[in-house]
Amino acid sequence: MTVPVFLADEERLALDEIVLDGPEGRHAATVRRLRAGERLDLTDGAGRVAECVVTDVLKDSLRLAVSRRYEVPAPAPRLVVVQGLPKGDRGELAVEMMTEVGVDVIVPWAAARSITQWKGERAGKALARWRSTAREAGKQARRFHLPEVTEPATTAAVASLISAASLGVVLHEDAVSALSSVPLPAGGDIVVVVGPEGGITDEETERLSASGAVPALLGPTVLRTSTAGVAAAAVLQTRTGRW
């Protein structure tokens, strides 16, 4: 059985004996039903890991003994995906899959043709769902560096991200170069921009290109906005040697 992963803060990870309580402990004790003698890993989501053994099962928590600690270095180059806001629950699907394949930063983008618009109270709830999805998917995938889901970005903010990155790529069906052939940097940030269902406007393409973004093609088929990011991430993970 794959050793399950749960989240704990840095202070708790420093202890030799840990009581895992709260939502994480409740899930471990009542949903996963871990028992004395079983293994689990605790992480702070920033690379610190404590390998633990369950010593006692309480009502909604576990008592753990730490067997060893170690730290996982952050992968490089860092992979950032700017995701045009999809409609319905496809945003959470995109976040889940990108987390599973190892995307480091996910940036919600209110593109001009996004059918969904995050405004007011809805924005906060939608962002919370994306962050919760990333957190749970990260634990399921045994990621010790959880992805950052940023505040929603404007096109101007996306252009700034690209300007500061080692490489910026805009996925576009009219591009000439394939993503599999774009020269890659050894370090820094690789920023990939995925448009919404309606695509990226000419004005957005021009603005991002002016900031240094390279148009790139994934392949001969047109992918949904919710799957294009994960496909691009898989290509880049392989080419950078992270996979």
Instruction: Say whether both 122 and 39 belong to one domain.
Output: no
Query: Domain containing 189 — which CATH number?
Result: 3.40.1280.10
Instruction: Say whether both 216 and 138 belong to one domain.
Output: yes
In this prediction, residue 120 carries a pLDDT of: 83
Between CA 77 and CA 193 the distance in angstroms is 16
Instruction: Say whether both 83 and 140 belong to one domain.
Output: yes
In this prediction, residue 115 carries a pLDDT of: 86
Instruction: Say whether both 38 and 124 belong to one domain.
Output: no
Instruction: Say whether both 141 and 225 belong to one domain.
Output: yes
Boundary-marking domain end, from 71, 86, 112 = 71
Instruction: Say whether both 60 and 87 belong to one domain.
Output: no
Instruction: Say whether both 104 and 195 belong to one domain.
Output: yes
Boundary-marking domain end, from 71, 89, 123 = 71
In this prediction, residue 155 carries a pLDDT of: 96
Between CA 191 and CA 78 the distance in angstroms is 8
In this prediction, residue 116 carries a pLDDT of: 84
Instruction: Say whether both 181 and 91 belong to one domain.
Output: yes
> Which residues in 76-88 are b (16+ Cβ under 10 Å) and which e?
bbbbbbbbbbbee
In this prediction, residue 112 carries a pLDDT of: 92
Over the chain (243 residues), what is each successive 10-residue block's mean pLDDT? 93 95 95 95 98 95 96 96 93 97 97 88 92 97 98 96 97 92 93 94 95 94 93 96 94
Instruction: Say whether both 124 and 108 belong to one domain.
Output: yes
Boundary-marking domain end, from 51, 71, 91 = 71
Between CA 66 and CA 144 the distance in angstroms is 17
Print the domain residue range for 41. 5-71
Number of domains in the chain: 2
